[in-house]
Structure 1
Amino acid sequence: MNYKKLICTVLLLGSFATAAKVVNGEEATFSTDSIESSTNAETSDSTTNPQADTTVADDESDVDETAYDAAGNLQFHHPVPFEKFTLEPPAFRSARSTMSVQQAFINQVAPSARTLANSNNLYASVMIAQAIVESGWGSSALSKAPNYNLFGIKGEYNGQSVTMKTQEWNEKDGWYYINAKFRKYPSYKESLQDNVTILKQTSFSPGNYYYSGAWKSNTKSYKDATAWLTGRYATAPNYGTTLNSVIETYNLTQYDTNNPTVQTNAMYRLYNPNSGEHFYTANGVERDKVIKAGWRYEGIGWQAPRSGAPVYRLYNPNAGDHHYTPHLYEKNNLVKVGWRYEGISWYSGGSKVLYRLYNPNAKAGAHHYTLLKSERDNLIKHGWRNEGIGWYGQ
């Protein structure tokens, strides 16, 4: 029996511009991501169209809510034309620091990908590479907070979706714009889990799984898996070679084994009853000094890996408080408005989320970070704003 192929002609151009305004550590970001896509057309394998654009739709009328094509195939939309994808996007080169933007993105998705892939007979290296290529290193509007859609999948996830304008193509009308619903996830972890579900459960006839050729048990190496995905997950003929290049360049095969022992540092959490500020440090000497100055020691906030994406520490000499961020652009903007950069305080990595909240009424200690959902929810009830994920810990 011939199985129907998942035809996803992909035309997504990842051009984006971001302007950010930061005042006392509060961030307001306005972004426009241009993304191109096409409908599933068996007669077209084109992967370029500079006119295509995907943004959050202003007009949600006539929304395409179809996640599957007429043949029952799930529709994927990729943010970067595969022949235009580069291992180091030019837009990122000016933002390089001690830790590259690329490695920082890998550190965000790798822990969950490794756990999910190794427990589901899949290659974590391939999953991470797909996330990189399909999201344009996390630059697409779909992959950013609050959508976290790494793989550009249409439809809903647990009833959640985001409507975006996307350009589609068919033989009759050529290129045209529609508003389409894309799956919206609570975090990258759920997006990765959904990808596992697709690779493991997609079937067009009983007992035959469409992506079984990408499973570890049916392959000799990750290259067999990427070859199987080419023409199925994406029709671009260079899809597999693109994934292989990413895997080889960033040594992603290291994630194809079970979790190794990760060395971490305990992050001490302290509270200033006078200013209301929380302070975080891995330095025991600094912790003891702050306690002597009247701060309350609140124990270990989380475990931070000894390597990964850097979290920068800054000090406001006017308000007398600290701010922490893994975002280089936010650090640079704060320095421009008078904050003192105090270096890398710790690293982000792991599967545990540190939530970031903002108190619009506080003059100092306006931001708070916590591993506890209960604390996050309680602060929101008292007027704090939820700013999503601050970074990750072990």
Structure 2
Amino acid sequence: MKFRSFLLSTIILGSLVVTNATVLAEEIGSSTSETTEVNQMNEVQTTETSASVLTQTTEAVSTTDTVTDTSATNEMATNETAASETPTNENPETAEEITNQLTDGQTITHTHQADLSEFTNGVMARSARVANTSQQAFIDSIASSAQSLANENDLYASVMIAQAIVESGWGKSTLSAAPNYNLFGIKGNYQGQSVTMPTSEYVNGQWITVNAAFRKYPSYKESLQDNAKVLKTTSFQSGVYYYSGAWKSNTKSYKDATAWLTGRYATAPNYGSTLNSVIETYNLTQYDTAKVSTSPMYRLYNRHTGEHLYTLNAGEKDYLPKVGWKYEGIAWQAPNSGQPVYRMYNPYSGDHHYTMAQSEINFLKPLGWRYEGLSFYSGGSKPIYRLFNPNEKTGTHHYTLSASERDFLTPLGWKYEGIGFYGY
């Protein structure tokens, strides 16, 4: 596959016990993710190269991408072939040079030279998929960092992960593997750390093999950070960002982002479709949904007063059973941020009440209720139902994630008051 060489400037970058009330088994949702099986190549040869020397008046940092050549055939999941790595300067005419001018004045040259047929013709063959634990292991090793960086930078984690797969040949190149962790072949040093490796450069009209210093990162995260910086800060005109068409806020889906990268990040006409194939085959869009940090909301029951207590405090959860309370499990998962839910306490009845409404807090205080402050946060898509029992003096309010528990209690005299808040 031949690439056109061109130059650009760049930037670096969860049981209610009321008679026979139902347990909370259904109250705790769980999510599963399926790993799509894929077809594995018998042979993978990765070669690291970098093209061209760029003369700049500003600091120049070159990048080299992994070259991957494969012949794809069906193989069993347990028969994984290790990739061989040999620095070479063969077929130098396939190299393309793209320089990014960052808004901080730094320049980074991205040399894309990957053979995309590995990902379009072999790995992506739907008719002959086989499980590959090493490939999933690579995805797992970068997914968390990619997801966090994508959320911070208005980018698609799916696209970031797919690029890392394509650019580094599944992290099997010497440069991208431990202890170097350089996924995108960026030259120079990182906090004074570098690794010297052979690379091909175009000097005085011909290709030669030279030893060059490449950035050595402490982990994949820092390498992903550099690439995210390129996508966010490359600009050749004040206020105009070269890769803005790949940002989440400017697109409807990841496919819009990969289409924008085609002809810009890499000139290969099938670059976007290759990334799409990788994203679809490995279900990488699961990482585009922001990961929400949650904490378990513990539920306890006092058989003497009939009250249910809800708390995030593990210490409170462990102490109360020692003084007569029954621990009933996790009522739901509460987000660690969102809309605040406050806790009120009635020292005369020993009852607790939870509300998001300041007006309710203001109403209860003159009646003798004590304000105990923030209890937890409301957020998510699962409704927490609120019920009221007018026949009781304590434990008058009940909160549950279970619709069946809600429906069981109403015929027993409980009044359904609607959705109190939300959780996970």
What is the TM-score of this pair, normalised by structure 1?
A: 0.48
